[in-house]
Amino acid sequence: MRTAAFPFRAIPHALFSLFFPADCRICNTPLGRWTRVPVCASCIAAPAPLEAEYFCSLCRTPFLNPHPLDQHGVCAACRSGLLGFDRATSFGFYEGHLRGLIHLFKYAGMRPLAHPLAQLLERALPVDEAYDVVVPVPLHWKKKWQRGFNQAELLARHLAKRRRLPLLKALRRRKSTEAQATQSIAGRRRNVAGAFMAQPGVPLAGKRVLLIDDVMTTGATASACAAALKRGGAKSVSLLTLARVDRRPGTN
Ligand SMILES: [Zn+2]
Ligand SMILES: [Zn+2]
């Protein structure tokens, strides 16, 4: 009988290690079974939903006390109409296991993580809202080319399939907005204002859009996307992200 090991010789090492990983890439526990993702089951199950005592009822920004919220539970940014979207929801804070998983997905190119991460998105989806289309936040073409994929688009694709909603690549990123992390909120807003436009010919008129991104920091990117979608005719834009940066003083 021919040796059963033969086919494995033809598998490149990178692929082999993807299917037969040694250790979990987050907690370093040896993995005992075949998996498409080198992360153990408990690390995948670990991310906890976002918890905070006080939230804005629209953008879900967490606060340390109720003072920034008005009698309707709405924060100053939402009251001033600063945020282009109508509502924002995130699964968890951008920390711990969730942050680790997003990093592996985004920067280590572990595309199969899109599936479990999209399940977290689905868990966070507001039950009292209806949507007509799912739209991913686009990457600038250069970044997409470097990374090989748009993480928001993979997440949106999974979610759209699960919810039987059409996926609409309705936005285009006109300029690259690098190094956002180091900028102030006002700087980030200036930087992304006008960075997005609705794709010509995409049917957005009257649509209730579910906008998908992986991480929300200040909301400036999503806000600029929402403004572009509304210029394109969208009726409402609800943002759903996997994680949001906790910007409360003393929490980071
Ligand atoms: Zn693990
Ligand atoms: Zn708010």
Please report, for the domain that includes residue 153, its CATH number.
3.40.50
Q: Tell me which residue has tokens 């991460």.
A: 117
196 forms beta bridges with 173
Question: Domain range spanning residue 122?
Answer: 75-244
171 lies in the same domain as 237: yes
| Residues 156, 212 share a domain | yes
Q: Stretch 3-11: mean pLDDT, rounded?
A: 49
Looking at the CA of 76, name the nearest ligand: 2
- As beta bridge partners, residue 241 has 90, 213
Tens-digit pLDDT profile for residues 85-140: 999 999 999 999 999 999 999 999 899 999 999 999 999 999 889 999 999 999 98
122 and 227 in a single domain? The answer is yes
Q: Averaged over 182-195, what is the pLDDT?
A: 72
- Whether 237 is covered by a domain: the verdict is yes
Identify whether residues 35 and 84 lie together within a single domain.
Answer: no
> What distance in angstroms lies between residue 106's CA and the mean position of ligand 1's atoms?
18
Q: What is the pLDDT of residue 43?
A: 94
Indicate whether 54 pLDDT > 90.
Answer: yes
Q: Say if 68 falls within a structural domain.
A: no
So what's the pLDDT on residue 6?
45
61 φ, ψ to 5°? -65, 130
Of 60, 113, 104, 53, nearest in space to 83 by CA: 60
Any idea which ligand is nearest the CA of 100? 1
Mean per-residue pLDDT of the chain: 87
pLDDT at residue 3, as a whole number: 42
State the Cα–Cα distance between residues 180 and 103, nearest whole angstrom.
17
Domain count, the chain: 2
Task: Considering every ligand atom shown, identify the ligand nearest to the alpha carbon of residue 68 and give its number.
Answer: 2
Tell me whether residue 61 is in a domain. Answer: no
More confident residue, 67 or 21: 67
- Residue 138 within any structural domain of the chain: yes
Q: Is the pLDDT of residue 41 over 80?
A: yes
Cα-based torsion angle of the residue sequence 118, 243, 58, 150 in order, rounded to the nearest 10 degrees: -60
Pairing between β-strand 133-136 and β-strand 171-173 as defined by DSSP bridges: unpaired
Q: Which ligand is nearest to the CA of 23?
A: 1
DSSP 8-state assignment for residue 194: T
CA of 87 to the centre of ligand 2 (A): 8
Within a domain: residue 173?
yes
Which ligand places an atom closest to the C-alpha of 72? 2
> How far does the centroid of ligand 1 lie from the alpha carbon of residue 200, in Å?
44
Tell me whether residue 87 is in a domain: yes
List, in sequence order, every beta strand (DSSP E) within the chain. Answer: 54-55, 62-63, 87-93, 133-136, 171-173, 196-198, 208-216, 236-244
Question: Within a domain: residue 252?
Answer: no
Question: How much distance in Å is there from the Cα of 38 to the middle of ligand 1?
Answer: 9
Residues that place a CB less than 5 A from ion ligand 1: 24, 26-27, 40, 43
pLDDT class for 4, splitting at 50, 70, 90? very low
Predicted TM-score (pTM) of this structure: 0.86
